[in-house]
Chain A
Amino acid sequence: MDYFAQQLINGLVLGSIYGLIAIGYTMVYGIVGMINFAHGDIFMIGGFIALITFLILVSIGLTAVPVILLLVLLVSMAITSLYGWTIERIAYRPLRHSFRLAPMLSAIGMSFVLTNFSQVAQGARVKPVPPIITGGYTLHEGADGFAVRLSNIQIIVVITTIVLLALFTWLVARTRLGRDMRACEQDQTMASLLGVDVDRTISMTFVIGAALAAVAGMMYLLYYGLVDFFMGFVAGIKAFTAAVLGGIGSLPGAMLGGLLIGLIETLWAAYFSTEYKDVAAFSILIVVLIFLPTGLLGRPEVEKV
Chain B
Amino acid sequence: MNINDILSVENLTMRFGGIVAVNDLSFTAERGKITALIGPNGAGKTTVFNCITGFYKPTSGTIKLRHSDGEWRLERLNDFRISKIAKVARTFQNIRLFPGMTALENLMVAQHNTLMRASGFTLLGLFGVPSYRAAEKAAIDLARYWLDQIGLLERADDAAGNLPYGDQRRLEIARAMCTEPALLCLDEPAAGLNARESAALNELLLKIRAEHGTSILLIEHDMSVVMQISDHINVLDYGVKIADGTPQQIRDNPKVIAAYLGADEEEAIAVMEGET
Contact = CB atoms under 8 A, between A and B. Distances in A.
Q: Do A and B touch, yes or no (CB under 8 Å, in the complex)? A: yes
A72 to B, nearest CB: 48
Contacts of B55: 303, 305
B127 interface: no
Contacts of B46: 305
A303 B96 CA distance: 14
B50 interface: yes
Interface string A205-240: 000000000000000000000000000000000000
A305 B16 contact: no
Interface in B45-73: 46, 50, 55
Q: Classify chain B: how many residues form its interface, as a range.
A: under 10
Interface string B7-41: 00000000010000000000000000000000000
A16 B70 CA distance: 59
Interface in A285-305: 302-303, 305
A41 to B, nearest CB: 35
A302 B96 CA distance: 17
A302 B16 contact: yes
Nearest to B94: A305
B98 interface: no
B238 interface: no
A302 B47 CA distance: 13
Nearest to B16: A302
B59 to A, nearest CB: 13
A148 to B, nearest CB: 45
Nearest to A305: B55
Nearest to B55: A305
Interface in B224-263: none
Interface in B92-147: 92, 96
A156 B55 CA distance: 51
A11 B8 CA distance: 57
Nearest to A302: B16
Contacts of A305: 46, 50, 55, 92, 96
Nearest to B92: A305
A303 B92 CA distance: 13
A305 B55 CA distance: 8
Interface string B80-99: 00000000000010001000
Interface string A37-56: 00000000000000000000
A293 to B, nearest CB: 16
Interface string A139-174: 000000000000000000000000000000000000
A303 B46 CA distance: 13
B188 to A, nearest CB: 13
A305 B46 CA distance: 8
A305 B50 CA distance: 8
Nearest to B187: A305
Closest 4 CB pairs of A and B: A305-B55, A305-B50, A305-B92, A302-B16
5 contacts: A302-B16, A305-B46, A305-B50, A305-B92, A305-B96
Interface of B: 16, 46, 50, 55, 92, 96
Interface of A: 302-303, 305
